[in-house]
Amino acid sequence: MTGPKVEKMSNKIAAIQMVSTKDVAVNLDQAARLIAAAAMQGASLAVLPENFALIESGQIRELAEEELAEGRLSGWLSAQARKHGIWLVAGSSPALIRPDGSKIDDGRVRSRLLVVDEKGEIVASYDKRHLFDVDVGDALASYRESARFEPGGDEVVVVDSPVGRIGLSICYDLRFPGHYQRLRDLGADVLLVPAAFTKVTGEAHWEILLRARAIETQCYCVGAGQGGVHSPRRQTWGHSMIVDPWGEVLGCQDQGEGVVLAEVDLDKLKRLRAEMPVWQHRRDSWA
């Protein structure tokens, strides 16, 4: 799926790292500060992490009902985008209505990424396809996203943006290379990975996976994560980073809130793909 064509703006992209809490108002205040900082540094597109508005999934259905009734999060995102003249990618927010218009009625929600342009218009969305049902050696021990979230469908999404053609994903998708190969098949230049990796899994695999996805697809890869202690039992890895198509890390925020900024050089990307035409050499297709 692709979105509308857009005019070229700045080529700077920002990965925003947060330490979200169970208080939506506090989280939105934190996000607003970081969006403003990204815009002041010249970013034309900023990526918020997964669960930017609420890290405690026990309240997620309530927030989804509020969004359906009042448009609290989408309205806030639109206002921020217009205020700063910046594109925003909202890492994930809860949605009760499927893309086909039907309502989820089993108590769960979908984890939905929204792309908002500088005019405040929602130009694309993506529902998380791969759910984190995993046992981890941390204080929470067991994660079962499927208990509260319904997976998205098979469709992957790319959309034209001021920094090139962006391919959408959320967190656990990162472990499934076929998802990103499909995005590259659709013309992606930049892969976006808003996330909330646990400290255990992030320390082991986050940077490796981001660099691998960038190298194998010859795309920029932007990982915007949660990074800190959210509660006595919940800690995320952070290390939000931007990786170029050669696998070089252009910037990283280890822990705590912050902004990672880098330039997307599409001419460099085209040269790399011409000099090493991996997509022409491959023997398999993931389309």
With b meaning 16 or more CB within 10 Å and e meaning fewer, what string describes 98-117?
A: eeeeeebeeebbbbbbbbbb
* 145 counts as catalytic: no
Q: What are phi and psi of 259, to 5 degrees?
A: -130, 130
Residue 128 annotated as catalytic: yes
Is 249 strand, coil or helix? strand
Q: Angle at Cα 189 formed by Cα 52 and Cα 4, nearest 5°?
A: 75
Which of 67, 118, 150, 171 is the catalytic position? 171
From 12, 50, 199, 221, the catalytic residue: 50
Catalytic site residue from 12, 128, 145, 221? 128
Compute the Cα dihedral for 146, 148, 152, 156 and give only its sign. Answer: negative
3-state secondary structure of 87: strand
Sign for the pseudo-dihedral over CA of 161, 274, 209, 266: negative
Residues marked as catalytic = 50, 128, 171
